[in-house]
Structure 1
Amino acid sequence: MDSRKKKIGVLVPYSNTNLEPDMMRLCPDGCTMHFQRLGGYDVDKVPDSDQMAGLGASDIDHDLTMISGVRPAVVLYGCTSATLTHGRAFDRDLAARIKRRSGALSLTAAESLVRGLGALGVARVGFASPYVGQINAEAVAFLSGAGFQTVRCHDIGRSLSNYGQGELTPDEVYALAVAADHPDAQAIVLSCTDMRSVEVIGRVEAALGKPVVTSNQAMVFALMQDLGLPRGVQHAGALFDLL
C-alpha cells in the first residue's frame, strides 16, 4: 500500500444518518473517510421512486468540486435507490461522470451490490429493503439485468419517511433480513445506505447460514478490491473473507 493515507470521498444524501457511522466502522487501515452531503430531494416527502430518481438525476457538480478538494483516491456515491430507479446504464454513466469530474475512482452503492454478489459466486438472492414498493420492483429489475434472480423480495410493510429508514433498529433490520430468506436463496441482499444493516451481518449469517451483502459493506469491499487493500482487522461477514 502507498505510504500516503488513502482518502475516500463519500457523497451522502443529506438526511442519511447511518452511512457515515458505517463507513467509519468499516474504514480500511491507513485510510481516511471524507463526506459531502447531497440535496436534490424533498426530505419531507416519502422517498418514493420519483423522489429517488430525482436525486439520482440531480446536478452534483458543486458536491464533486467540494469532495475533490481532499484529492480522494475513490469517490463513493452513497445512495442505492437513486440509481436503482434508473437502471444499470444510468448507474454506470453516473460513475463515469463522477470519475471524470473528480479525477478519482468512482463506485456506486448499487453497482457495488452487484460486485459483491458476483464475488460470492451466487445466482439467486433474497432481497430486503425499507423502500416503497415501486423501488423494490426497480431493484429486482436492476439485479436481474446483472444476472441475479430475486427469489424473494421483502419490505418493511409500511411507508417510511427519509428519517424513518434510518431509524429502523438493528432488531428490525435483522427481522427484515430473515423474512427475505427463501430455500433457493444463496445470499441475502440488504439494500439502503441509511439502514443499519452492517450491524446485523454476522447475526443474520449465523442464523441463516448464508452470506449477506449490504449497500455500505459492498462499497467498502469494492474500494478495497480496487485499491488492493488487505482486510486488516475489519470483519463484515463472508464477503470480507474474500479479501
Structure 2
Amino acid sequence: MSDHRPLRVGMLTPSSNTCLEPVTYGLLRGAAGSVTAHFARVPVTRIALDTGSDAQFDREPMLAAARQLADAKVDVLVWNGTSGSWLGVERDRALVAALTEATGIPATTSTLALLDACAAYGVNRLGLALPYTRDVADAIVATYAKEGLACVLAEPFGEDDNEAFARIPATDVARQIEAAATDGAQAVAVVCTNVYGAFEAERLEQALGVPVFDSVTATLWRALDLAGAAPSWDGYGTLLRDGSLRAHVQSVLTDVLAATGADRTTFRVDLPAHGLHVDLTAGEALGEGVRSIRRDASLDQRRLNTVEWLEAERRTLVQPHFRADPHPPQALVDVYGVNAQMLSPVETRGELTGWISVHSMRERDWTEADQRALAVATADLTARVSATT
C-alpha cells in the first residue's frame, strides 16, 4: 500500500443488497479517512436450496468483478456474501484462492470472516440470527457443525428474496439476536450481509454479555486485518475494537503450541480498554483432546504462588514438575491435568501486565528450543500489548 493514499478495500457485492454499502460507510467513520471501500456487484436475488439459486454464486462472475476492482488497485478483496455458510466453507476457500490467483490480491469472504471471529474469541457454541427460510438455516447449522461450531438457532425470518432482507426492521433483528443469545451461546452471529445488525452490536453486547458478530462488520474487520490495518475502533462492538488483538494472540499461542509440542498455551492480560482481565484468558491454543481452561474464572490469578513469583522475579518460570516451589494451584493439576509448565511475564511500563502459560499434561524437561520459542512469543505479545496501551 502506498504511504500517500488510504487503504482500499474491494468488495464483491450481491446485486440486490442495499445494506452493506451504507453500513460499511458508517463503520468506516472509525477509520478517520485511512480506509476507503469500493464495490462491484454480482447478480444475486434469491436465497434457496436449489440449482437456480446456487448458480448465482458461480465463480466466473465473481472473478470478472474482482478483475475490475483490481483496476482500482485495491489492497484486499472480499466476497461480501454469506453463501459459503450453506453451500460449504470449502467452496469459499476455493473462491478465495481463485480470486488471489487471478488478481494477486489477498482475499476473504463473509463466511470465512465469521469463522475467523469465532476462532479469535474461542467460540465453539454460536447463536445464529438469520433472515432465511428454515431449510437454508438448517443447512447453515450443518455447515458450521463441520467447522466445530455447535449452534443455537433463533427462529429465522423465513425470507428468500434477498432484497427483502434489508427491509427487516433493525429492532426485529435485535430481538432475534437476543433470542439467539441463549442455551450457552458464547457469541451470536448475524449471518447475512443484507440485514441491519451492525449498529445494534455495541448495545446488545453490553446487555447480553456475549460478542455479536454482524456479517458486514466481520467482513470489514477481517479485510482490514488481512491488509495489515488491525482496526481498534470504539462504538461498533468488540470485533472492530478487540478482534485484531485477539486474533493476533491466538496466532501467537498456536505457534508456541506447535513449536514446543505442549498440550495447552494461554495468555492472560489486564487490558480493560479491550475487555481483558487476567482472571479469564485472552486466548488459548489446545492439543487434541485437551480440556479448555478459557472460560474458567474461578481463581484470583494475581494471588497464585506462581504469579506472585513472576511479579517478584520478572523472568520465565520453568517447571519440569511441581515438586518444588512455587507450587501452582491444585486445581490446575486435579481438574486440568497439568504436570509441567512454563510461565513468561509480559511487562508494560514496568508493570506485570500479563503472562503466557505453556502447559504439559506430563512431567517433562523444557528444552532450550522450547524456551526460545516462548521468548519469541513473549517479545511479540509484549510489543503488541505495549502498542495498545
Match of 2:21 in 1: 20
Which letter maps to 1:236?
Y
TM-score, length-normalised on structure 1?
Answer: 0.90
In the alignment, is the contact (CA less than 8 A) between 2:232 and 2:241 conserved in 1? no
Match of 2:38 in 1: 34
Match of 1:78 in 2: 80
CA shift, 1:38, in A, is 0.6
In the alignment, is the contact (CA less than 8 A) between 1:49 and 1:132 conserved in 2? no
Larger Rg: 2
In the alignment, is the contact (CA less than 8 A) between 1:52 and 1:85 conserved in 2? no
- Show the 5 A alignment for 1:43-82: 43=45, 46-50=46-50, 51-60=52-61, 61-80=63-82, 82=83
SS at match of 1:59: helix
Paired with 2:130 and 2:40, the residues of 1 have a C-alpha distance of: 24
Match of 2:215 in 1: 215
CA shift, 1:160, in A, is 4.5
Q: Mark the CA change 1:196 to 1:157 in structure 2 (over 3 Å): closer, same or farther.
A: closer
Q: Mark the CA change 1:153 to 1:192 in structure 2 (over 3 Å): closer, same or farther.
A: same
Q: Mark the CA change 1:100 to 1:58 in structure 2 (over 3 Å): closer, same or farther.
A: closer
Match of 1:188 in 2: 188
- Show the 5 A alignment for 1:111-190: 111-150=112-151, 152-190=152-190
Match of 2:103 in 1: 102
Paired with 1:232 and 1:210, the residues of 2 have a C-alpha distance of: 18
In the alignment, is the contact (CA less than 8 A) between 1:120 and 1:239 conserved in 2? no
Paired with 2:13 and 2:106, the residues of 1 have a C-alpha distance of: 17
SS at match of 2:188: strand
SS at match of 1:37: strand
In the alignment, is the contact (CA less than 8 A) between 1:7 and 1:31 conserved in 2? yes
SS at match of 2:128: strand
Which letter maps to 1:131?
Y
CA shift, 1:230, in A, is 4.1
* Post-superposition CA distance 1:118-160 (Å, at most 9, x none): 111121111111011222122112222221111x212334335
In the alignment, is the contact (CA less than 8 A) between 2:132 and 2:157 conserved in 1? no
Match of 2:229 in 1: 229
CA shift, 1:56, in A, is 1.8
In the alignment, is the contact (CA less than 8 A) between 2:232 and 2:240 conserved in 1? no
Q: Mark the CA change 1:21 to 1:136 in structure 2 (over 3 Å): closer, same or farther.
A: same
Task: Provide structure 2 residue ranges, at least 5 long, that are not aligned to the other structure.
Answer: 245-389
TM-score, length-normalised on structure 2?
Answer: 0.58
In the alignment, is the contact (CA less than 8 A) between 1:53 and 1:85 conserved in 2? no
CA shift, 1:200, in A, is 0.7
* Post-superposition CA distance 1:69-96 (Å, at most 9, x none): 101111110110x222221111100111
Identity of aligned residues (%): 25
CA shift, 1:183, in A, is 3.2
Paired with 2:157 and 2:131, the residues of 1 have a C-alpha distance of: 8
Q: Mark the CA change 1:34 to 1:231 in structure 2 (over 3 Å): closer, same or farther.
A: same
What is the CA RMSD across the aligned residues, in angstroms? 1.9
* Post-superposition CA distance 1:193-225 (Å, at most 9, x none): 000010110122122111111111111221222
